[in-house]
A and B are shown apart, each in its own frame.
Chain A
Amino acid sequence: MDAPHPNGFHSGSRLERVLRAGHFAVTAELGPPQNADPQVIRQKAHLLAGVVDAANITDNQTAIVRMSSVSAGAIALQEGIEPVMQITCRDRNRLAMQSDLLGAYALGLRNVLCLTGDHQSFGNHPTAKNVHDLDSLQLIQMVVGMRDNKTFQCGDPIKGLEPRFFVGAAANPFGDPFEWRPLRLAKKVKAGANFIQTQLIYNVPRFAEFMDKVRQLGVHREVYLLAGVGPLKSPGMAKYMRDEVPGLDVPNEFVDRMTAAADGIDKEDKKGRSAAWKKEGIQIAIELIQQMRQIEGVAGIHLMAIEWEEAVRPIIDGAGLLPRPEPEPVAAAAPQLQRDADTA
């Protein structure tokens, strides 16, 4: 499976080059709007420019209809943000996914994150039919096959330029069964994943336990793992994530810290309390990044400041991760790709 392009890179994306150069990578999330306004993407992109190596463009996140990740990714690219196009198995079959991959590559997108997708019952179209023609492992195989074997999923050759993506997958260290999670990660790497972004991590000791197992399997040497970090905005959000969100493990310590952050501030001073909570949330995120950076096998972080893109810069700055590195360009990439196009 692992047959890099003759230029030495799978896709040559900025994210791939940052990771290959051994830098501690930073990605964030850019949620497309629930409307057709490109300005929303541009504004969010400006908040992330120069702060992250790439930004994930979510694909109908939590099963709520949003601008497509292909088009939002293309707009982000125009604004100087390298997108990681998320693609879920919930809404499209293998034909639609492959045509989107061809189109996304043609528009300049170079990273893909392959996901199962939240169940549609969480979103705003709970009566929809779900697809799940492929699962996330099979999706990884398909994207890698298009790149390394130059074939469509059916086995037909791609005549002409093949889409060459740096292929990512997700891992939830706190999903059940806990003992199976490192093995499932290994399975995704076996399918061909080049990088992994994890679910939000608050319980660092438990995550370290997960990483012990990942290292025992040797998987950390075959894949770049970016640990998921998310700033808490309020004690209410911390409690909600602790109690209500499947697959999240939020220790009480953080709920208590968030609550204590507004101690002594008048209950009527809502602005003051909110500012104190946000400050503490940013501080906790910085500490989490510093702790996770110490864990062997963690190659970077994936910051999910959902609808709070303003928090990204202070967190990345506070964690000592600015300025972002400028990785070497792909020397042979341009002529190589040109040659491929010529022989097509």
Chain B
Amino acid sequence: MIIAEQKPFDEIKGLIAGADNVLVVGCGTCVTVCFAGGEKEAGILATSLRMATKIDGAPQAVTHTTVQRQCEWEFVDPLAAQIEQADVVLSLGCGIGVQALAERFPKAIVVPGLNTSFLGQPTEQGVWEERCAACGSCVLGLTGGICPIARCAKQLLNGPCGGSQNGNCEIGHDTPCAWQLIYDRLQAQGRLHLLMDIQPAKDWSTSRDGGPRRITREDLRLTAEISE
């Protein structure tokens, strides 16, 4: 899922400065599960902002609401009336949610309350780790189910580099070396021979390097697209 964390409080205050009416919009999907922007966090943030702006001597009216998914039109459309009343909309969705609100309500000033961090999972209570870089061309079948694009600091396809030490990456003792993990997994499975093949230069065009990506499934579309 998408992992995010709340921006520093002062940065958020700066983003909504000068607005009389602020609407905080939480999202009920990924950012709820990672405790960054769900209903509970939206409520706490709205309260905190009301208190802080009052103490600062320039009170702002901050209300909050939460939708199930900020990244789908059908869930954001019902917000129209509330957004109409707000001077600034503070989205606690991921970057996709922020953009969905901004696109659907182009007159509204929509600002982000979160930093969208990565695609990952909780590995223990209170800890989230990156697992996927959405490169558009999955190599997990070759690497024992451990992604070197997301988890190696140098995105090596023929690792590990010389900086792997005691299971850790050269960038820090709390970062496992992805290639040590891959080696250990394949060795345990008796499949180390997979690592002797040289993986060729990656085609990054399926990644962000190819420009913004889009998938079209004609079998799922309701109407034929009018050709340009």
Contact = CB atoms under 8 A, between A and B. Distances in A.
Contacts of A141: 198, 200-201
Interface in B196-221: 196, 198-202, 204
Nearest to A173: B162
A60 interface: no
B170 interface: yes
Interface string A139-183: 001100000000001000000000000000011100111001001
A219 to B, nearest CB: 12
A131 to B, nearest CB: 9
Contacts of A134: 201
A136 B158 contact: yes
Interface stretch (B43-51, B76-84, B121-129, B149-157): B149-157
A58 to B, nearest CB: 15
B29 interface: no
Nearest to B156: A135
Which has the most chain B C-beta neighbours within 10 Å: A94, A186, A187? Answer: A187
Contacts of A183: 195-196
A72 B163 CA distance: 26
Interface in A73-93: 89-90
Nearest to A135: B156
Given A135-B157, A153-B201, A177-B183, A119 B162 contact: no
A177 B155 CA distance: 18
A13 interface: no
Nearest to A137: B158
A214 to B, nearest CB: 15
Interface string A16-42: 000000000000000000000000000
Interface of A: 89-90, 94, 116-119, 121-122, 130, 132-138, 141-142, 153, 170-172, 175-177, 180, 183-184, 186-187, 190-191, 199, 246-247
17 contacts: A119-B170, A121-B171, A135-B157, A135-B159, A137-B157, A138-B158, A141-B198, A142-B201, A172-B162, A175-B161, A176-B164, A183-B196, A186-B196, A187-B158, A187-B198, A246-B163, A246-B164
Contacts of B177: 176
Contact of B163 (A132, A175, A177): A175
- Of all A-B residue pairs in the complex, the 9 with the closest CB atoms, nearest first, are A172-B162, A137-B158, A246-B165, A116-B161, A135-B156, A138-B201, A175-B162, A246-B170, A132-B155
B99 interface: no
Main SS of chain B's interface residues?
Answer: loop
Contact of B166 (A121, A176, A187): A176
B180 interface: yes
A183 B198 CA distance: 12
A134 B201 CA distance: 6
A246 B171 CA distance: 9
A227 to B, nearest CB: 15
Contacts of B158: 135-138, 187
Contact of B162 (A170, A177, A190): A170
Interface residues of B, number: 29
B161 to A, nearest CB: 4
B65 to A, nearest CB: 36
Contact of B180 (A90, A153, A172, A177): A177
Nearest to A171: B162
Contacts of B201: 94, 133-134, 138, 141-142, 153
Nearest to B200: A138
A119 B171 contact: yes
B164 A175 contact: yes
Contact of B153 (A119, A177, A247): A119
Given A175-B160, A175-B165, 8 more contacts: A116-B162, A119-B154, A135-B155, A136-B158, A137-B157, A175-B163, A191-B198, A247-B163
A172 B159 CA distance: 12
Contacts of A89: 154
A133 B205 CA distance: 11
A153 B164 CA distance: 28
Interface string B161-194: 1111111001100000100100110000000000
Nearest to B167: A176
Contacts of A117: 154
A115 B184 CA distance: 24
A91 to B, nearest CB: 12
Contacts of A137: 157-158, 198-199
Contacts of B166: 176
Contacts of B165: 175-176, 246-247
A176 B198 CA distance: 19
Given A116-B162, A119-B153, A176-B180, A187 B171 contact: no
B154 A135 contact: yes
B198 A118 contact: no
B160 A176 contact: yes
Contacts of B160: 175-177, 180, 184
B147 to A, nearest CB: 14
Contacts of A142: 201
B161 A90 contact: no
Contact of B154 (A94, A132, A184, A247): A132
A133 to B, nearest CB: 7
